[in-house]
Each structure stands twice: as structure tokens, then as C-alpha cells.
Structure 1
Amino acid sequence: MNTSARGWGRAERLDADRLADGLYAETGVRLVVEGPCPGGQVGAAYVRWPDGHRSVLKWRPHTKLADFRAGPLAVSEVLRNAGYPCPATELAAQVQHAVVLVQELLPGAKTDRLDHDGLTRALALNQEQAGRLADRPDIPRLDLYLREDGPGYCLHEPLRRHNLRTAALERRVSAAGSDHPEPMAGNDAVHQDFHPGNMLAVDGAITGVIDWDGAGRGDRRFDLVTLRFGLHTQESAPGVTNRLDEILDRMPDDVLRPLWAHMSLRMVDWAIRHFTPAEVEHWLDLAERRAW
């Protein structure tokens, strides 16, 4: 699911030159902006260091660096130290209200079409996330926002107001939240945006997983539900979606229900506020596919 098409983050766009200037003012490091990276709603840009090596410039608006270091950056560091293919963060600084990041440029291009080998690799990577944060109680647990609004996403009121169908969905989401108190249980590393657009590949082989900006502690199976929503918008090889559905079918109801409710709320709310009525129906069709 490409963020430029489906909306996963804040709607503010990256101004790479301005951020590079701000980064220079804060750190004294002058980076040359080469141009935007493909895809993404908030965006990222290729930059070159004084020594000539290339990296990726990103930002996280309305975020405190201390919080970001304690959450997403800590998660990716734990995984990277365990051999997981996520990018190293080479520089991070607070630039006004935003965290500005310079991260390692991993090999490969974003995955446009997930085949069976790609799904096998994605499932193996997801398994590697299991229990990784058991020794890091300082890393916060993730909220699902089933009973209250999230920070700029997972808003309930748009669903209540849009139409009868979205209002009914919101009631189901709230009911799931009442039955399954937050935050998410578990000590797994959770990406929270684990879809093909955030997987890099070379000749079809996944070489890295990027965009850990929402990462935290919880249940790694959350990422499999996210992946299923991602496959709803991107082409995949025949049988790939059915294969993932079979894996979700085997999840206990008390695990799958709140995770499915979160993704349903997340995508329908974002479509209501940022896209067309057809997009809203698109996500409702998937949200209602399971009897949760």
C-alpha cells in the first residue's frame, strides 16, 4: 500500500531543502539534497554527505526527539543489532516542531508486486520480530485507539458523521475496544506500517524494511494485519492474498479482532478526510469482510 495513494501519516509534505538547512543550523552538517525518493505521502529525499555517500532524509512532524529516540529509533536499533535489515539512523535532530532524520540508504527498490517468495520472506521477517523487546521495558507499548482518537489519525467522529455504514463500523470498533483494553499486549517489535511499499527488493528478493517511524512494543501479528490491508491496494501474485488470509484465519479471535478493528478505523477515517467517497467504500469493503 503506497502511502501516496492510501494515506498512513500526517498530510504535511516534506520540504527537503528547508529541512536540510534546519539540520545544518542544529548540527553543523551540510547535506546536499539530490531529489525526492519515489512514493510516500509525507515524503523522503535523497541527500549526499560531504564525504560523498548518499542517505535518505526524512522527517516526523509534531514529534519530540526524546520520544522518538525512546520509541521508534530504539525498536529499529534492537532489530538492526539482531541482524534485521532495517536502516541505520545516521543523524537525528529536533528542527522546530519536527524530528529530522538521516538514514542509511539500503539497496533495492520498493516492492510493487508481492509474489509468493516475497510473502515467505515477509513472514520470516515478521517472525524475527517476536520477543525482541522482552528486555526493553522502557520502549512504550502501542495503542490501538479503539475507544479514543489517535494523534491525527484513527479519528472516530468522521466515521460517526459520514454515513450509516461508517457509523456502524465505528460502533463495532468501539465495541472491540471495550472488549480488548489497550494498549497492545506483547513484547514483540512492531513496525505498524508493514506493507509492500515499505519493503525493498533486488531481483524480487526483499533486502530491507524501511519507515519504522511508528514502531513500538506489542504483538508482531499486528504487522500481518497491516500487510493484509496493504495487499488490498497493490497487485500481488495469484494466491498470495488467500495465503495470508489463511494465516489470519488461524489467529485467535481475541488477537485478530482488535487488530482488524484498528486497521479498519485507521483506513476508513483517513479516506473520509483525505480521499474520495470511492476510497471510503474501498476500505469499508475490506473492513466488513471479516465477521468481527
Structure 2
Amino acid sequence: MPGRAGRRRLCAPGGPSPPLRAQVAAAHPLGGHGGGAAHRQPGAAARGLSGSGHRAGGPAGHAVVTVQELLPGTVIDRLDHRGLVQALEPNRSQAGRLAGHPDVPAAELFLRQDGPGYCLHEPLRRHNRRSAALERWVAAVGAGHPDRLAGDDAVHMDFHPGNLLATGGSITGVIDWDGAARGDRRFDLVTLRFGLHGGGADPGVARHLDAVLDALPADVLRPAWAHMSLRMADWAIRHFTPSEVEHWLDLAEQRVS
């Protein structure tokens, strides 16, 4: 989704899974996944996921195209406690959905090497002492964990309020599955926490989600937090103001240990 003043949501031009954005249908270069052959995207009706707007995916020349069913509702501007509880339901439904689809690649975290145009390490090393210290922590986490997420869950990779549709106070669907991959669905809860940072949620919603994250195993939470910290700090350094960088460093450092 386009950046909104005061909301500190970052968007990126094209490509899968740069920081937090939303769209209803998309085409992206295969190079974003580092692959060659086109593959179907996981999620939604194509994989039996409830509460999603994704309809199907497939090759179209040099790109992968995802087509999503038009669902009622509009994107959520402000997530309340009820919305958070509802948002956790489609996340739970993603468990094990790709067990029968080995062709879907696992999500790559880029904790030890640069991603394809995002999750770059050098900007953090050069920006200031805080960002350099964060990059060292990210690399250290990467040294102790696999490069790709383990598991057979469908992972949205960009799960935040701007990608949730709602009407009448009820969530009707999840959009923007074009960057989805295989892995551990709980990764998306970390993405959601970053999506709440700086606004867009009622008081206490972030604390509620923090309590959910506190219960996650360290081998799930640490690499997911490291990825999102790198992803958002790098993008802010290269595209936004120093104050935006500090904003993301403030959140990232909350779980650096």
C-alpha cells in the first residue's frame, strides 16, 4: 500500500515481499524469488485457506500472476482487540496447508546475505552505530538458524492490517498473497507486530500481540524478528528520513538479546 503520512508504513515498487504494502492483484518478476520456473502461489481457495481473497496463481511469461477473488469490505485503518482476535484465525488456518505441495519454495530470510533489492545488510552497517549493532545481531541469529523457514505452513509474508479486509467490524478476507511462501505461519505474527508499530491499532492491541509473541519458541521468534528488523530498517535507511530509521530501530531493539 502507498505510504500514509503519520502511519509510517513503507511501500516498495514491485517485487515480492519488500516492506509492508497491499494490493488486490499483482504480477512480479520471478527474480524476486531467486527462481527460474514459475510456480503457483500458496494460500486461499487454491490451497483451501479460509478467510482469504486469493483465488489462483500461475505463470504468465516472465512473471507469476496472482488473481484474487473480489470480497466485501475495505482495508482496516485501525485494528482493535476484536480485529486482532479475528486476524489470528486465518493465521491458524495456514498450518500444514502446503504439506502436499513440495513445489512451493520455503521463505528465505536473508539473515546472512542480501535479499533481491531488500533486506540489504550494508546500509545498516554504514548508517550509524545503532543500525550497525542491529546488523551484527541479525547476522549472529542467521549463523544459528537455517537460511529458509522450516515447515509446511502457508506463510503470507506481508500480513498486516492494510492487507486485511473488513466490513461491519468483521474481517472478510486477507489480500496480497503474491509474495507468499512455505514455512512457519507464526512468522506472519511477527510481520503483524511490525505493521502495528507507530499507529493503526487501538491502545493495548500491540501489547496483546506481544504477549502472543512471548509464547513463541525462540527458534521461531528470533529469526522472524531478525528478518523483519533487517527488512524495515534497511528500507527506511535507503528510502526515508533518519527519524523513520530510528522509529524502526526502536522496535527492532525491543527483542535484541
TM-score by length of 2: 0.87
Cα distance, 1:76 vs. partner? 4.0
Matches of residues 2-13 of structure 1 in structure 2 within 5 Å? 2-5=1-4, 6-9=9-12, 11=13
Which runs of structure 2 are paired with 1:226-241 in the superposition (5 Å)? 226-241=191-206
Quick check: 1:210 aligned with 2:178? no
Name the amino acid aligned to 1:86.
G
Determine if contact 2:161/2:192 at 8 Å carries over to the other structure: yes
Query: In the superposition, relative to structure 1, how do residues 75 and 104 fare at CA in structure 2: closer, same or farther (>3 Å)?
Result: closer
Residues 119, 234 of structure 1: alpha-carbon distance in 2 compared, 3 angstrom cutoff: same
Conserved 8 A contact 1:129-1:189: yes
**CA, structure 1 residues 208+140, in 2 after alignment: closer, same or farther (shift >3 Å)?**
same
Cα separation, 1, equivalents of 2:256 and 2:132: 16
TM-score (norm 1): 0.77
Distance in 2 between residues matched to 1:148 and 1:57, nearest whole Å: 29
Taking every aligned residue pair, what percent have the same amino acid on both sides? 58
Match of 2:161 in 1: 196
Q: Which amino acid aligns with 2:28?
A: R
Structure 1 residue 75 displacement after superposition:
3.6
Matched, 1:83 2:86: no
Match of 2:187 in 1: 222
Listed as ranges, the gaps of 5+ residues in structure 1 are 14-39, 45-55
- Are 2:93 and 1:93 equivalent residues in the alignment? no
Matches of 1:277 and 1:42, distance apart in 2: 21
CA distance in 1, matches of 2:37, 2:77: 29
Q: Which has the higher contact order (CA 8 A, sep 6+)?
A: 2
2-side partners of 1:78 and 1:88: how far apart?
A: 6
How many matched pairs?
249
1:118 shift after superposition? 0.7
CA distance in 2, matches of 1:271, 1:219: 26
Where structure 2 has 5 or more consecutive residues not aligned to the other structure, the ranges are none
The Cα RMSD (Å) is 2.7
| Residues 227 and 274 of structure 1, relative CA distance in 2, 3 Å threshold | same
The structure-2 alpha-carbon separation of the partners of 1:224 and 1:213, relative to structure 1 and needing over 3 Å to count, comes to same
Q: Is residue 113 of structure 1 aligned with residue 78 of structure 2?
A: yes
**1:7 maps to amino acid:** L
Higher-Rg member (1/2) = 1
2:28 paired residue number: 60
* Closer/same/farther in 2, CA of residues 107 and 113 from structure 1, 3 Å limit: same
Q: 1:157 aligns with which of 122, 125, 128?
A: 122
- What is the CA–CA distance in structure 2 between the aligned matches of 1:201 and 1:177, rounded to whole Å? 36
Deviation at 1:7, TM superposition (A): 2.7
